[in-house]
Each structure stands twice: as structure tokens, then as C-alpha cells.
């Protein structure tokens, strides 16, 4: 049995990881484990082999020196010595990020605007791609992930808060876009409705990115010239990565302490690669719970978005992060309902979804077949209690459909820094007891 499971995964060297988490992402499958930077493994959905101005992504792409993925790439619009918008400044003798996505925001092609599991249809080599989460078919399309049961409501003409997290930092910048849910979810559709983020301020929100009462205001660096679509607004990633010759291609982030930032950080000592270095495949990068907690960014990046005056209905929100250090674009998607009036959803509400426990294996309900296995560990029920197929770094708990729910039946509690004791289960016991699957017609 090939299980579709969204969870923590194998972090390959020089693969960045970041994700939309407010509104909560489809790619998370209702889990917030490792949030905000990789809630439910959602940071593993991306696009590989993306050069500015090329007709399509290739799944290839060299990191250093940058080699374009087509014969006639675009010239950068973020110039080589632009100290305001660039995010990678080391190795001055060559312009080695010249064709990477952030150098002309929005112009690099993507294979899927909600990401591919593992970045492409086949696993990448070290430093050139990634692998899918446990049980997820390599290259599974993010646009095929089902919406979360949780509904997010925005009101046309008003504002809404959006947020993303960083798990492995490769500079660059980002934008948010909408596409009507009843249309084909293509990059072209999302480009029709680029959102505007308001003002010259944004916030770092702490306590795993969820505490709205614990924010730090920082300056936002936005640009709308030289972007695709023309005039679309993009925002620079405010968190500097590590500086130094080795760190410029991320190797130093794994092998040596990160002591210098690429540019001045918005908050003192807030810079670096992020928690993803602990899950790297590089030799010598074994990690302790204490080191994992220290390296993980305990904040999300919050912006205020203008909700456009679109017709009432359901929409898909795509977050797009164009990296500068690598030829990668990180995309993830969420679902919003836009109304003409009424009250919007309150952002950053805790959510422990039942998506993994309902439906079918094909639509992400990988534990749905376990409803009759609560007292049976034999035969067809055996897989419900065993570790699920797929790679799990030794640092993280093993994944099981059943056996490790909390006493109240909810999902296992785990945050970076916790010791690896026992396993992880998504909380199906409570979902089934409370009839969550029947509520959603599954």
C-alpha cells in the first residue's frame, strides 16, 4: 500500500523550506506539528529547476555557479549591487545567483502553483532538489490536495492577515495570489489576482508563530517594479541567511556555527538557516533536540493583505516564495471564502484537523481505513499500528495512524526541543469519536 501522508521529511542539503500557515495550508493536511515553518511537513512542496524567463521548470538546476535552465533566460531586474532588495551578497567575483527566481520576481516558471511533493517527479541529488514526505508519492501535485475542513472567511474590500514560516532560509522574497476555486488552479490563474500587502511594516509573531499578543514590528521591503506580472507587488524575505563563502551555498549552515548575517537583521541575532539544517542529509549534521530547538525559527512573518473586491465565492490562496540562493520556488496553497459582508474569520486560531483520518487514501485520508482497528493489530489493521512507510529523520517521532494519540484522543504533542520518545499519531481516535468524518460527508 502506498500511503499519502503529509509529515516531516528528509531534508536534503541546500533545499530551502518555507510555507504559508495563515490561512492554514492544504499542504499541512490539518497538522501543525513543526509549525510555523513546516506545519505538517508542508514545507516540502516546491518547484525545482526554475530560472527567470525560461518557459518551464525542469526539475534540474545547479546552485553554484548558477546555470540557466534554458537558452534565453531573462536578465535580472534586481541588479547585482542592489543592496536593498538582494539577499545574498557573498562570492563577489561573480554574479552567481543571476538567473535564480528572486532576481526577477515572478518570472521563473513553476510546475505547480501549490507545489510538488519533493520538488519534482523524481528525487533530487544532494544540493539539487529533495524527497517527498513519508508515504507521499514523489511529485504528487499540491493542487490535488483536498481543502481543509476548517473554513477561512475574508470580507471583500477589508483586510486580512496572512503569514508564512521559514524552515530553511534561502533569501529571496514572496507574494500571495488568488484563483477562483472553480477554475483550473494554474499559475496563470493565480497571476490574475496578485494581492497587495499594506504599509511598510510587518511583524515577527512568536511562540510557534501563533501568539498574536507577542509580536515584533519590523520594516517591510516591498517592490513592484521589474516584477511579473508587471506592477505586481513582492516583499523581500526579512530574515538574513548566514554569511561567508561556505554559508552562501548553505554548507556552512550545517557544518559550522552561523555567526554572521547576509544583511542587517530586523531584530538583533535573528538570522540564520533555520531548523531544516538538523534534518539535512549531509554527514556530520546529526542533531540533538537542544540544537534543533535552538536553530528552529520560533516565529512567523505576518503581513496585512488587502482583500480585493472579487465576487462572493470560494477561492484558493497561493503563497509563492522565489528563492535567491537556489533555483527553487516554494509554493503552497490554502482555501478562503470571500463574502460581501459579515464577520471574517479570526486569524491564528488553533487547528487540529481530522483530514488524515477521513475520506480515502487517494484524497489524503491515509488513516481512514483504520476505523475498525482500535482493538485489532492484526491482518489489514497491522499497518495502522506500525510505523508508516517513508523516511523519518531520527530526530522526530515515528509516525503511526494509531497508538500515540493524546489521552483525550487528539494528536500527539511535539515541538522542536522535545526528546524523541514514542511515536506520533494524528488524533484519529478523537475525530472518529466525535463524528468528524460524518460531519464532512466522508
pLDDT of residue 286: 65
What is the reported pLDDT for 281? 52
pTM for this structure? Answer: 0.93
Q: How far apart are CA 166 and CA 34, in angstroms?
A: 11
Q: Contact, 217 vs 237, CB < 8 A? A: no
Q: How do beta strands 153-155 and 328-339 pair?
A: parallel
Q: Quick check: helix, strand or coil at residue 19?
A: strand
Structure confidence by residue, pLDDT tens digits, 179-223: 999 999 999 999 999 999 999 999 999 999 999 999 999 999 999
pLDDT at 192: 97
Is 358:401 a contact under the CB 8 Å cutoff?
Answer: no
Q: What pLDDT shows up at residue 249? A: 53
Given a contact cutoff of 8 angstroms between Cβ atoms, the answer to whether 165 and 18 are in contact is yes
| Separation of CA 247 from chain center | 22
pLDDT score at 16 = 58
At 391 the pLDDT is 55
Provide the residue ranges of all domains of the chain, joining segments of one domain with +. 17-138+148-339, 355-439
Please say whether the beta carbons of 131 and 12 come within 8 A.
yes
What pLDDT does residue 12 have?
Answer: 36
Closest CA to 239 of 325, 317, 114, 110: 325
List Cβ neighbours of 16 (8 Å cut-off, separation of 6 or more).
46, 167, 168, 169, 170, 276, 321, 323, 325, 326, 328, 330
Residue 7 has what pLDDT?
Answer: 35
- The C-alpha cell at 108 is 521563473
| Segments in the chain below pLDDT 50 | 1-14, 246-247, 251-252, 255
pLDDT of residue 244: 65
Nearest Cα to 424, choosing from 57, 5, 19, 67? 5
Strands (E), 106-180: 116-117, 153-155, 159-168, 173-180
Contacts of 204 (CB under 8 A, 6+ apart): 215, 216, 218, 238, 266, 267, 270, 299, 300, 301, 302
pLDDT recorded at residue 126: 59
Please tell me the predicted confidence (pLDDT) of residue 4: 37
Task: Give the gyration radius of the chain's Cα atoms.
Answer: 21
Contact 424, 392 (CB under 8 A): no
Amino acid at each position: 500500500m502506498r500511503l499519502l501522508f503529509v509529515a516531516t521529511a528528509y531534508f536534503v542539503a541546500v533545499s530551502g523550506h518555507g510555507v504559508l500557515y495563515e490561512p492554514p495550508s492544504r499542504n499541512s493536511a490539518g497538522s501543525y506539528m513543526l509549525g510555523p515553518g513546516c506545519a505538517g511537513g508542508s514545507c516540502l512542496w516546491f518547484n525545482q529547476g526554475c530560472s527567470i524567463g525560461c518557459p518551464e521548470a525542469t526539475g534540474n538546476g545547479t546552485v553554484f555557479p548558477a546555470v540557466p535552465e534554458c537558452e534565453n533566460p531573462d536578465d535580472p531586474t534586481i541588479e547585482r549591487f542592489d543592496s536593498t532588495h538582494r539577499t545574498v551578497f557573498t562570492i563577489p567575483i561573480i554574479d552567481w545567483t543571476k538567473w535564480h527566481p528572486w532576481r526577477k520576481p515572478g518570472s521563473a516558471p513553476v510546475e505547480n502553483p501549490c507545489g510538488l511533493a519533493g520538488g519534482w517527479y523524481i528525487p533530487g541529488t544532494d544540493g539539487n532538489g529533495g524527497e517527498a514526505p513519508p508515504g507521499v508519492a514523489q511529485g504528487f501535485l499540491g493542487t490535488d490536495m483536498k481543502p481543509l475542513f476548517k473554513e477561512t472567511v475574508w470580507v471583500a474590500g477589508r483586510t486580512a492577515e496572512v503569514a508564512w514560516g521559514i524552515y530553511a532560509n534561502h533569501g529571496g522574497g514572496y507574494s500571495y495570489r488568488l484563483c477562483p476555486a472553480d477554475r483550473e488552479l494554474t499559475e496563470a490563474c493565480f497571476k490574475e489576482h496578485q494581492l497587495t500587502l499594506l504599509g511598510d511594516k510587518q511583524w515577527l509573531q512568536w511562540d510557534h508563530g501563533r501568539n498574536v499578543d507577542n509580536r515584533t514590528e519590523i520594516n517591510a521591503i516591498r517592490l513592484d517594479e521589474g516584477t511579473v506580472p508587471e506592477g505586481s507587488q513582492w516583499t523581500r524575505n526579512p530574515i538574513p541567511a548566514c554569511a561567508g563563502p561556505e554559508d552562501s551555498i548553505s554548507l556552512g549552515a550545517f557544518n559550522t556555527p552561523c555567526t554572521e548575517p547576509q544583511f542587517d537583521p530586523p531584530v538583533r541575532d535573528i538570522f540564520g538557516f533555520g531548523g531544516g539544517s538538523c534534518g539535512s542529509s549531509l554527514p556530520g549534521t546529526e542533531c540533538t533536540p537542544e540544537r534543533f530547538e535552538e536553530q528552529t525559527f520560533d516565529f512567523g512573518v505576518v503581513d496585512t493583505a488587502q482583500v480585493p473586491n472579487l465576487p462572493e465565492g470560494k477561492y484558493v490562496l497561493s503563497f509563492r516564495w522565489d528563492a535567491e540562493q537556489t533555483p527553487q520556488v516554494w509554493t503552497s496553497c490554502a482555501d478562503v471564502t470571500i463574502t460581501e459582508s459579515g464577520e471574517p474569520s479570526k486569524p491564528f486560531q488553533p487547528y487540529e484537523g481530522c483530514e488524515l483520518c477521513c475520506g480515502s487514501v487517494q484524497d489524503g485520508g491515509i488513516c481512514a481505513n483504520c476505523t475498525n482497528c482500535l482493538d485489532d493489530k492484526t491482518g489489514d489493521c497491522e499497518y495502522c499500528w506500525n510505523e508508516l512507510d517513508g523516511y523519518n529523520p531520527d530526530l522526530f517521532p515515528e509516525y503511526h495512524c494509531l497508538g500515540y494519540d493524546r489521552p483525550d484522543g487528539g494528536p500527539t504533542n511535539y515541538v522542536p526541543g522535545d526528546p524523541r520518545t514514542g511515536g506520533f499519531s494524528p488524533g484519529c481516535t478523537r475525530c472518529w469519536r466525535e463524528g468528524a468524518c460524518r460531519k464532512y460527508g466522508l
